[in-house]
Amino acid sequence: MNNTPPIIALDFPSAQETFAFLKQFDGENLFVKVGMELFYQEGPYILEQLKKQNCRIFLDLKCHDIPTTVYKAMKRLAGFGVSLVNVHAAGGSRMMEAALEGLEAGTAAGQKRPSLIAVTQLTSTSPEMLQHELLIKTPLEETVLRYSKLAEESGLDGVVCSVHEAERICRETSPSFLTVTPGIRLADDKKNDQVRVATPAMAREKGVSAIVVGRSITQAEEPVSAYRNIVREWEGIKA
């Protein structure tokens, strides 16, 4: 995941809208994220089409179920030729280990297994929600750190977290442990439903491995120029 470009969240309802959007990038090799909306609509077909356009893919289905079910799901996903997949750390260590075992079992000999990361807390989760709705009294940052260590102990390659927690996770896990961070906005963008947002420059400063950007690019008036601005900030190129 070194030198990973910003991962564009393709949160579109159909393949048609996805490819209309991607057409603007004129065949550039992109790293994209396919989430539930698009995958549930189009299925593996969308992944095949994106691979034909030389996209690297983060398949963001956030699996969370009993270990056996997650094992079987990951065994299937391993055959899709994507770079990155994820589960919820809240499923516990046995579920995360099963996910990894499933990916290994489903990866063909000689092929690279997709990296596996765990969602710690969604970036839309606020401390109030954690305490009053989920009844978790531990401070949000502590839960994120604990879930990250649990993911590392379970053999996972990294976590999804907000930029605000990434610095501490990087400090307290091994150097190769990935931190993939959504909730990215340029300074004058709208936050939408994200609570713990940060700019690409902040993400870079905190040493995160990769940033995921959706609406700041997909809903921008000029998506390609929004993408370029984000790349410049992420790469630390001064305007």
- Binding positions for ligand C5P, rule: CB under 6 A: 9, 11, 35, 119, 122-123, 160, 182-184, 192, 194, 212-216
* Active site annotation includes 26: no
188 counts as catalytic: no
Q: Which of 51, 62, 72, 149 is catalytic?
A: 62
Smallest distance from the beta carbon of 180 to ligand C5P, in angstroms? 8
Q: Where are the alpha helices (DSSP H) in the chain?
A: 15-23, 36-42, 44-52, 67-77, 93-106, 127-132, 140-153, 163-172, 200-205, 215-218, 223-235
Measured distance CA(141)–CA(7) in Å, rounded: 24
Query: Shortest gap between Cβ of 110 and ligand C5P (angstroms)?
Result: 31
* Residue whose CB is less far from ligand C5P, 27 or 188: 188
Query: Do residues 174 and 195 make contact, with C-beta atoms less than 8 angstroms apart?
Result: no
Burial class of residue 112 (count of CB atoms within 10 Å of its CB; 0-12, 13-18, 19+) = exposed
Q: How far is the CB of 135 from ligand C5P (least distance, A)?
A: 20
Rg (alpha carbons) of the chain, rounded to whole number: 17
Summarize the annotated binding site for substrate as residue ranges: 11, 33, 60-69, 123, 185, 194, 214-215
Please enumerate, by residue number, every residue annotated as part of a binding site: 11, 33, 60-69, 123, 185, 194, 214-215
* Catalytic annotation, residues: 60, 62, 65
